[in-house]
Structure 1
Amino acid sequence: MRAFGAAIALSLAAGPMAAQESGGTGFGLAGVLSASNKEDLPPITLSSGTPLAEEGWTLKSGTYYEFEIEGDGSQELALVGPEFFRAVWVDEIVVNGLEIRPLGLDSVEFDEAGVMEIGFVAIKPGRYYMKIPGSTGESQRIDITIE
């Protein structure tokens, strides 16, 4: 137990610059959740007859991303992407200022107009998608690549 306490004391004494000086990531105390490792993605639009996004996303594994889903309430619409959501770590979902920290996610649904923000860390490289369930059109789907 004393060795553990000594290790913590040494790490605290070293300060936040120790990782940078020793060839670490330089992310700071928050690690991959540091502001220097965060990118905002273009929003996804949930609206009857409107494309979800202008283009697909290419993400880098280990990077923190945030995006908004904007539903206009024109129709009850969902967005599914179970393979994608299992390839990322979802940090939080924010709806009307309420933060949700899920263990996992399969889909989201908008019954009325609103905005939802999702923050996540890309983990598993591969090709994924999110789409409106039951749709077959390419504009009702967003392709996502994690490198």
Structure 2
Amino acid sequence: MNRLTAFALTAALTAGPAFADSDAGFGLAGILSASNKEDLPPITLSAGMPLSDAPLSLKSGTYYEIEIEADGSQELALVGAEFFRAIWIDEIVIEGLEIRPLGLDSVEFDEAGVMEIGFLAIKPGRYTLRVPGSTGETQRLEITIE
């Protein structure tokens, strides 16, 4: 083994415990550790019903999981390209199938079902998820990333 390879291997092996003891407070999984995860209240897709009870306030650098539930009363979608570009989507789970997309523009339910999205909030700002073609305030969900 040459000297450079030996040095790199030694540095990599000794860096692990130092990171675990860092001031960040996260475990070896870093920002994806359980201590940095928060469950959000679900979004409900139902004809004529509000999407959510209140706006969402998120913290940049925190991992969130949210369920989107559709009751099948109508074919409904959620659009919010700006929001989806302000987060890093870890996975989308639908009926036990895990999808790891590169990006997202919208989601749509043709029938009743549940979708869970796990994501990391990144870019601070104010964003909106909304039912396309709707004008009512209850068909919008305001999201702030601090």
TM-score, normalised relative to structure 2: 0.92
Q: Which amino acid aligns with 1:50?
A: M
Give per-residue Cα distances to partners, 1:50-78, cap 9 Å, x unaligned.
Answer: 10000010000010000000000000000
Query: Which whole-Å CA distance do the structure 2 matches of 1:9 and 1:43 have between them?
Result: 46
CA distance in 2, matches of 1:44, 1:8: 47
Query: Once the two structures are aligned, what percentage of the paired residues are identical?
Result: 72
In 2, Cα distance between the equivalents of 1:14 and 1:121?
25
Q: Which residue pairs with 1:97 in the alignment?
A: 96
CA distance in 2: counterparts of 1:5 and 1:75, whole angstroms: 62
- For the structure 1 residues 15 and 131, does the alpha-carbon distance in structure 2 shift closer, same or farther, using more than 3 Å as the test? same
Q: Which moved more, 1:112-121 or 1:23-32?
A: 23-32
Aligned residues: 145
Instruction: Note the residue ranges of structure 1 that are not aligned, 5 or more in a row.
Output: none
In structure 2, the residue matched to 1:129 is: 128
Displacement, 1:31?
1.3
Alignment check: 8 A CA contact 1:19 1:26 kept:
no
CA distance in 1, matches of 2:54, 2:5: 50
Query: For residue 37 of structure 1, what is the amino acid of its counterpart?
Result: N
Cα distance in 2 for residues equivalent to 1:109 and 1:10: 48
Cα distance in 1 for residues equivalent to 2:26 and 2:5: 24
Aligned to 1:9: 10
In structure 2, the gaps of 5 or more residues are: none
Q: Please give the alpha-carbon distance, in whole angstroms, between the structure 1 residues aligned to 2:123 and 2:70.
A: 28
Q: How does 1:96-115 map to 2 (within 5 A)?
A: 96-115=95-114
| TM-score of the pair, normalised by structure 1 | 0.91
Deviation at 1:8, TM superposition (A): 3.7
